[in-house]
Amino acid sequence: MDKIRVLVVDDSALVRRIISDALEKDPEIEVVGTANNGKTAIFKSFVLYPDVITMDIEMPIMDGLEALREIMDKNAKPVIMLSSLTQFGAEATFKALEYGAADFVPKPQAMVQMSFDEISEQLIQKVKAFAHAEINYSAASPKERVVLPGPANDRPFETTEDKRLTEIVDDAYLHSKKRIVAIGTSTGGPSALIKLFKNLPANFACPIVVVQHMPPGFTKAFAERLDSISMLTVKEAEDGDQLRDGWAYIAPGHSHVELYQRNGDDYLALNSGEKVSGHRPSIDVLFRSIARFYSSEVTAVIMTGMGKDGALGITELAQKGSYTIAQDQETSVVFGMNRVAIEMGAVKNILPLDEISKKIVEHL
């Protein structure tokens, strides 16, 4: 079998050597070239025919974001960003995912709760997965709706549809019992979640809990990113958080998140146990914990992502009468987890990304 061809891009010769050596420890991977800036990376992406590119962000001459946009526009292929855990690094990483990067891993020197061996293992796994995956590049860069400025709970309506959805939520407050929305996603999830959250009204009638597969440390920055573009309040989940209507909680990258009840109220518990369905945090862990306390009051959403995490959990929720939604193939960067859930018969509605937030609100 032909080896997976990888182009390694970083302005540091030391990092290029570290990444190359780590990748070539796997007999199925060959580093066919390196580049020290984005301009060279674009040229080598055409002449070396790599299957996957690893891309640094901060580089001279042309940075990784510019190079990524050029590659996705003219010679699309899986690009894995190497990301530093600084404010700039995190913001640039999420922008890269919106531009079409397949995924990211922390740079070896990034201050995250992962060892170099863990980072290397994760990088190798992602290179192998993306080399063989069917990636929908047209779904990798969804256009964003412009959010009008203003306080989080006092932004003007943009369309009559926004106003109609807000009226639906107002009615839900008056007539529905306690509800919860649970969302699971992985590859392609950050840009999809940004689009989904931009379309949820400020007076959203229940809490949302999200598992997005992401390395430790980056989930806090991602929660802050969602909070800045959403009319909801979004935070990284903490142990003991009491769930509040109109708030969204993002599972931290180092722990599973589970729902429990005390005196009739809902709380979140974190645990750093073994990986489940190959992940920590795991979507299956969240969905199954919700199924212990809720049935038809749940709206469960499984979105773009590689693998099958969440498929068993959403099946359990569906069997209890929960309302289930899967993102469709056409708008998924990778039609994996959602495909498995659909094949298991766990999904009531298969929807394009643009329609998911609308359906969540209508079902409250």
Question: Which residues carry out catalysis?
Answer: 186, 213, 309
- Partnered with residue 269 across adjacent β-strands are 258
* Beta carbons within 8 Å of 159's beta carbon, 6+ residues apart: none
Phi, psi of 9 (to 5 degrees): -120, 120
> Cis peptide leading into 281, omega within 30 of 0?
yes
**Among residues 298, 181, 160, which one has the least CA distance to residue 246?**
181
**Among residues 241, 351, 257, which one has the least CA distance to residue 303?**
351
* Beta carbons within 8 Å of 292's beta carbon, 6+ residues apart: 259
- Partnered with residue 250 across adjacent β-strands are 210, 236
Across the beta sheet with 29-35, the strand order is 29-35, 4-9, 52-56, 79-83, 103-106
What is d(CA 95, CA 293) in angstroms, rounded to the nearest whole number? 37
What is d(CA 16, CA 7) in angstroms, rounded to the nearest whole number? 10
What is d(CA 320, CA 314) in angstroms, rounded to the nearest whole number? 10
CB of 249 within 8 A of CB of 204?
no
What residue type is assigned to position 154 of the chain?
D
DSSP 48-110: S--SEEEEESS-SSS-HHHHHHHHHHHS---EEEEE-SSHHHHHHHHHHHHHT--EEEE-TTS
